[in-house]
């Protein structure tokens, strides 16, 4: 009885986990048309996961957690530049002041992806084409199954 009640959930959980694992696989991204949108998506996701709480959605230092920090959070406007990314990657990895170190959770490559995403956002650059939409377009153009 108990077992029967639990079983369907176990199946759903197993399916959910395997779907999650499939998406998480780094080589799952190989179906994407170019590398750029992938980097952008990774940067965006990690920013939303680990950084915006302090830095604010657009890096202006107005995240909800900033108010709780004694010194506040400086705006990153004008600070995140391509030619300075090597230095900034190290700052984020090592942490600074009220900012924790990220080297144990986010590697250098992903840290760079976050900063590249942020740089584009601060400069109001348009995001790269959505890979899913591009795929749809390709399918349409190819006339698959029409
Ligand atoms: C707990 C709040 C908090 C979180 C979370 C946080 N930061 Fe920071 N960040 C700060 C503060 C405060 C500073 C200013 C540190 C200082 O100079 O004393 C800062 C500074 C920076 C700087 C500027 C360094 C410089 O040289 O001017 C960058 C870039 C940065 N953070 C990126 C990130 C990224 C990327 C993440 C997510 C992986 C992140 N931060 C997460 C609080 C945070």
Q: Domain locations in the chain?
A: 34-128
The 10s digit of each residue's pLDDT in 110-120 is 999 999 999 99
Pocket test for ligand 1, best of 87, 92, 119 (most atoms within 8 A of CB): 92
Residue 20's pLDDT band (boundaries 50, 70, 90)?
Answer: very low
Q: Is the pLDDT of residue 60 over 90?
A: yes
Cα of 21 vs centre of ligand 1, distance in Å, is 30
Q: Is 50 in the pocket of ligand 1 (CB under 6 A)?
A: yes
Residue 58 contacts residue 124 (beta carbons within 8 Å): no
- The CATH topology of domain 34-128 is Cytochrome Bc1 Complex; Chain D, domain 2 (1.10.760)
The 10s digit of each residue's pLDDT in 70-88 is 899 999 999 999 899 999 9
CA atoms of 86 and 111, how far apart (whole Å)? 10
Task: Tell me how many degrees the CA angle 63-40-83 measures, rounded to the nearest 5.
Answer: 85
Q: Is the pLDDT of residue 23 over 70?
A: no
Q: In ligand 1, which atom is closest to the CA atom of 114?
A: 35
Choice between 13 and 145, residue whose per-residue pLDDT is larger: 13
CA atoms of 83 and 116, how far apart (whole Å)? 11
Cα of 92 vs centre of ligand 1, distance in Å, is 6
Q: Is the pLDDT of residue 25 over 70?
A: no
Residue 139's pLDDT band (boundaries 50, 70, 90)?
Answer: confident
The predicted model scores a pTM of: 0.75
Q: In ligand 1, which atom is closest to the CA atom of 97?
A: 18
Nearest CA to 125 out of 46, 56, 40 is that of 40
Average pLDDT, the chain: 81
The 10s digit of each residue's pLDDT in 92-116 is 999 999 999 999 999 999 999 999 9
Cα of 99 vs centre of ligand 1, distance in Å, is 5
Q: In ligand 1, which atom is closest to the CA atom of 96?
A: 15
Q: Is 55 in the pocket of ligand 1 (CB under 6 A)?
A: yes
CA atoms of 43 and 90, how far apart (whole Å)? 16
């Amino acid at each position: 009885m108990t077992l029967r009640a639990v079983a369907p959930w176990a199946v759903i959980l197993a399916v959910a986990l395997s779907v999650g694992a499939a998406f998480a696989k780094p080589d799952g991204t190989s179906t994407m048309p170019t590398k750029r949108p992938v980097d952008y998506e990774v940067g965006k996701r990690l920013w939303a996961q680990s950084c915006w709480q302090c830095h604010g959605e657009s890096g202006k230092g107005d995240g909800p957690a900033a108010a709780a920090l004694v010194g506040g959070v400086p705006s990153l406007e004008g600070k995140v530049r391509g030619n300075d990314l090597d230095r900034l990657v190290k700052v984020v990895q090592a942490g600074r002041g009220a900012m924790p170190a990220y080297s144990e959770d986010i590697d250098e490559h992903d840290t760079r992806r976050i900063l590249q995403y942020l740089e584009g956002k601060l400069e109001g650059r348009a995001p790269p084409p959505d890979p899913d939409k591009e795929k749809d377009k390709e399918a349409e153009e190819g006339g698959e199954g029409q």
